[in-house]
Amino acid sequence: MSNKTVLHAKHLESGAKMVDFHGWEMPINYGSQIEEHHAVRKAAGMFDVSHMTIVDVQGKDAKAFLRRLVTNDVAKLTVAGKALYTGMLNENAGVIDDLIIYFFDDNNYRLVVNSATREKDLAWMNKQAENFEVTITERPEFGMIAIQGPQAKEKVAQLLTTEQQAAVAGMKPFFGVQVGDLFIATTGYTGEEGYEVIVPETLAADFWQKLLDVGVKPCGLGARDTLRLEAGMNLYGLDMDESVSPLAANMAWTITWEPEDRQFIGREVLAQQKAAGDQPKLVGLVLTEKGVLRSHQKVVTPEGDGEITSGTFSPTLEHSIALARVPRSVKVGDTVEVEMRKKLVKVQVTKPCFVRNGKKVF
């Protein structure tokens, strides 16, 4: 059983190599993953992210429900279109998923969650919604295209109506707006400027083709992974999962502790973890010599062992980088060791962010 997005035929037309991604047949690359990566850092690239799950949460309790459901506080959202990144925890403070919430009004929100966690996310939300007056509606009738890179916005602008251009002109990061057929958001997963566009399925292939025609390069999941890792963005299932606290996944900034009486799910356990100060933490690792850091390699430090959660070769920096979970007492600037192919190799500890807007940031 393999799902196909509405853009499947377009990928094959562009010579994509397709792979199974959690039950979806998705492009891993269209020839060279590294060239696609550079296209996003230097010009404009696009990704089919139609496999991601769009969920609309509406009703008179929508705000109260979301304030209970997730760690970040949707009460902070007061301007229509503003978005919020957050974790959704279980009672043990393990991360069920990470997601983006767009605010339209207090009765009207849009969530975008991971496709790999779709079923458990929906089941969890529906279960938690029992005592709230809300409707939870999946919106599978849309495609979603992320256009990213320093030239992304100007390329997209060429395809927009005058009304749409006016609506997105000067839109700050992490906003979304519905204009005409398109929902256009200044979000992404690459560390570059750009848009994520939600488009009705019937128009998706045509929109994709027009983007190709103005010179936006199609990019696969391979480049998406190296780009997000350079940007220090977590990937659910690798960098965190239900056994991991947000405190151990560089997600402390997504927890809103005030007001103290907001009882979001997982708060109690999370508060205990925070008070104990014993959660490990997610750091960056840099290897400047030959070799590539990979997921699950052991990290050896004087403070105790850790583990690489995501590792790759960074095409921008031309050496390997990784995210790793290590004891909290390990410091940025420390030299630690990674067990790679039976050898111990020295690596530098950095903040978990390597590249932003095309530039090295550590």
Partner 1 sequence: MSNIPSELKYATSHEWVRNEGDGIVTVGITEHAQDLLGDMVFVELPEVGETVSAGDDVAVAESVKAASDIYAPVSGEIIEVNEELEDAPELVNSDPFGDGWMFKIKLEDVSELDSLLDAEGYEASIDED
Binding site for partner 1 (CB under 8 A): 17, 28-29, 32-34, 222, 226, 290-292, 294, 312-313, 315, 341
The least distance separating partner 1 from the CB of residue 34, rounded to whole angstroms, comes to: 5
Residue 95 gets which letter from DSSP?
E
Quick one: 7 or 340, whose CB is closer to partner 1? 340
Quick one: 172 or 341, whose CB is closer to partner 1? 341
The least distance separating partner 1 from the CB of residue 184, rounded to whole angstroms, comes to: 31
CA distances from 226 to 27, 67, 250, 317 (A): 15, 33, 18, 11
The least distance separating partner 1 from the CB of residue 18, rounded to whole angstroms, comes to: 13
Tokens, residue 47: 């990704």
What is the rounded CA–CA span in Å between residue 113 and residue 101?
A: 9
What is the rounded CA–CA span in Å between residue 89 and residue 70?
A: 7
What is the rounded CA–CA span in Å between residue 192 and residue 231?
A: 9
The least distance separating partner 1 from the CB of residue 287, rounded to whole angstroms, comes to: 11
Quick one: 17 or 359, whose CB is closer to partner 1? 17
Tokens 């998705």 -> residue: 26
The least distance separating partner 1 from the CB of residue 304, rounded to whole angstroms, comes to: 26
What is the rounded CA–CA span in Å between residue 333 and residue 326?
A: 14
What is the rounded CA–CA span in Å between residue 191 and residue 198?
A: 20
What is the rounded CA–CA span in Å between residue 251 and residue 315?
A: 26
Quick one: 291 or 327, whose CB is closer to partner 1? 291
Quick one: 33 or 72, whose CB is closer to partner 1? 33
